[in-house]
Structure formats: C-alpha cells, structure tokens
Amino acid sequence: MIFLFTFGFEKNDKWLSNDKFKHFFVSYIIYSASYEITNKENSAIITFSIGVSKEIYDGFRKEKFSYKDLIWDILGISFGLFLLK
C-alpha cells in the first residue's frame, strides 16, 4: 500500500461521472464473463485484480490513482453477484 502513495491520488475525482459508469459497467461485464468460466469467488478476485492493476497503471500516468474508481469497480462486481445469484 505504501507503493500507491508514491505517485499520488487523483485530485479532481468526482463520485459521479461518465468514467465511474464505465468502471461499474466494465467490472460487471468482466465479472459476468469470468463467472461463466470460474466460480463467484474467483470471478470477483479476477475482476478486482484487473481494476487495481488499471489504477496502478493510471498512477504512473497523469490520471493518477483513484480509490473512487475502485469503489465503482466493487459496485459493479456486487451488481454481478446480485444478478447471478
């Protein structure tokens, strides 16, 4: 976690934006697709790992790391859990 603080967080990160909808929707799609191949626990781990990897990548670019994006990723995963129950 200390590694994440070396390149900072996004400063003008809004809770509601087109980007947040994309995080929600893409996480839901990845979760649903991987659910067909694995089980629900592995699907959640795979999807969240992709989201964290994307945020770490953003941390090295001008977009910066966004914990709000990760929360929207978790909401997308949760939505998939709810629908595929």
Asked whether residue 39 is assigned to any structural domain, the reply reads yes
Asked whether residue 73 is assigned to any structural domain, the reply reads yes
Which residues does residue 9 pair with via DSSP β-bridges, in sequence order?
Answer: 65
Evaluate if residue 11 carries a pLDDT over 80. no
Asked whether residue 1 is assigned to any structural domain, the reply reads no
Asked whether residue 38 is assigned to any structural domain, the reply reads yes
Closest by CA position to 27, among listed 49, 42, 12: 49
Backbone angles phi, psi at 77, to 5 degrees: -65, -45
Q: What is the residue range of 38's domain?
A: 12-83
Asked whether residue 56 is assigned to any structural domain, the reply reads yes
Asked whether residue 22 is assigned to any structural domain, the reply reads yes
Quick one: pLDDT at residue 43? Answer: 94
Asked whether residue 74 is assigned to any structural domain, the reply reads yes
Quick one: pLDDT at residue 78? Answer: 96
Quick one: pLDDT at residue 65? Answer: 85
The structural domain count of the chain equals 1
Place of tokens 């929360």: 71
Q: What is the pLDDT of residues 14-73, one digit of tens each?
A: 889 999 999 999 999 999 999 989 988 999 999 999 999 999 898 888 778 889 999 999
